[in-house]
Amino acid sequence: MDKFEKLSGIAAPMPLVNIDTDMIIPKVFLKSIARTGFGKNLFDEMRYNRDGTEVPEFVLNQPAYRDAQILVAGDNFGCGSSREHAPWAIADFGIKAVISTSFADIFYNNCFKNGILPIVLPQEAVDVLMKDAEKGANARMDIDLEAQTVTTSDGEVFAFEVDSFKKHCLLQGLDDIGLTMEKAAAIDTFEAAASQSRPWV
């Protein structure tokens, strides 16, 4: 997995609440058996007309935001389906961090498995960052995972919380399965005991 340490990039504003994973990547793209190539279909139904031409008003189609690496969004980002195709599409587009007041649980976890940092901040902070993002390509936001801060283009700093284990894995680009396999003995012990106490499982 890609490491995430520091990021300085353009942030795209998406002030909608409840952006669900069907919006992030519509189901027609879930038929792939690959993990890559979803970036061009990120936000497909909002981003393109039926004939495949771009919707010019859509934020990621605007010249200022084509290379956005950060999304600032409304409450409850990533709700709905568990599809990991959503973070795959986000990462494939080049977005490495999403900022909102809240994220849906499964989406939030999925981000960390794909080198994306989801940042939860209070409404007031998200409002300020949304305004900053609206400035377009002239404004770059800075994110420092080690220090757990987001800095606006004006230098205003917001600190955020992140689970220490998830932070560690993201900073190091660690593979979860490999880490868990190091604890195989604990799993073996648990399994043996459970097969005695709950043999019907």
Partner 1 sequence: MSPKTLYDKIWDAHVAHEADDGTCLLYIDRHLVHEVTSPQAFEGLRMTGRKVRAPEKTIAVPDHNVPTTLDRSKGIENEESRIQVEALDKNAKEFGVHYYPVSDVRQGIVHIVGPEQGWTLPGMTVVCGDSHTATHGAFGALAHGIGTSEVEHVLATQTLIQKKSKNMKVEITGKLMPGVTAKDITLAVIGETGTAGGTGYVIEYCGEAIRDLSMEGRMTVCNMAIEGGARAGLIAPDQTTYDYVKGRPHAPKGAQWEAALTWWKTLYTDEDAVFDKVITLKGEDIQPVVTWGTSPEDVLPITGVVPHPESFKGGKVEAARRALDYMGLTAGQKLTDIQIDTVFIGSCTNGRIEDLRAAAAILKGKKIKDGMRAMIVPGSGLVRAQAEEEGLADIFKEAGFEWRLAGCSMCLAMNPDQLSEGERCAATSNRNFEGRQGYKGRTHLVSPAMAAAAAITGHLTDIREMI
Interface residue with partner 1, options 53, 56, 57, 164 (CB under 8 A): 164
**Block residue for tokens 């795209």:** 12
Q: Does 195 bind partner 1 (CB under 8 A)?
A: no
Q: Does 171 bind partner 1 (CB under 8 A)?
A: no
Q: Scan residues 14-73 and list those touching partner 1 (CB under 8 A).
A: 15-18, 20, 22-23, 26-28, 30-35, 45, 50
Q: Does 74 bind partner 1 (CB under 8 A)?
A: yes
Sign (positive/negative) of CA torsion 142, 144, 147, 149?
A: positive
Strand order across the 157-159 sheet = 117-120, 97-100, 70-73, 6-14, 140-144, 149-151, 157-159
Compute the distance between CA of residue 190 and CA of residue 194 in angstroms, rounded to an integer.
Answer: 6
Nearer to partner 1 by Cβ, of 138 and 196: the residue is 196
Compute the distance between CA of residue 178 and CA of residue 25 in angstroms, rounded to an integer.
Answer: 29
- Nearest by Cα to 23 from 62, 63, 79: 79
- Residues 131-160 vs partner 1: string with x where CB under 8 A? ------------------------------
CA distances from 157 to 53, 167, 170 (A): 39, 19, 21
Interface residue with partner 1, options 114, 121, 141, 145 (CB under 8 A): 114
Binding site for partner 1 (CB under 8 A): 15-18, 20, 22-23, 26-28, 30-35, 45, 50, 74-76, 79-84, 87, 102-106, 109-110, 113-114, 123, 163-165, 176-177, 180-181, 183-184, 186-187, 189-191, 194, 198-201
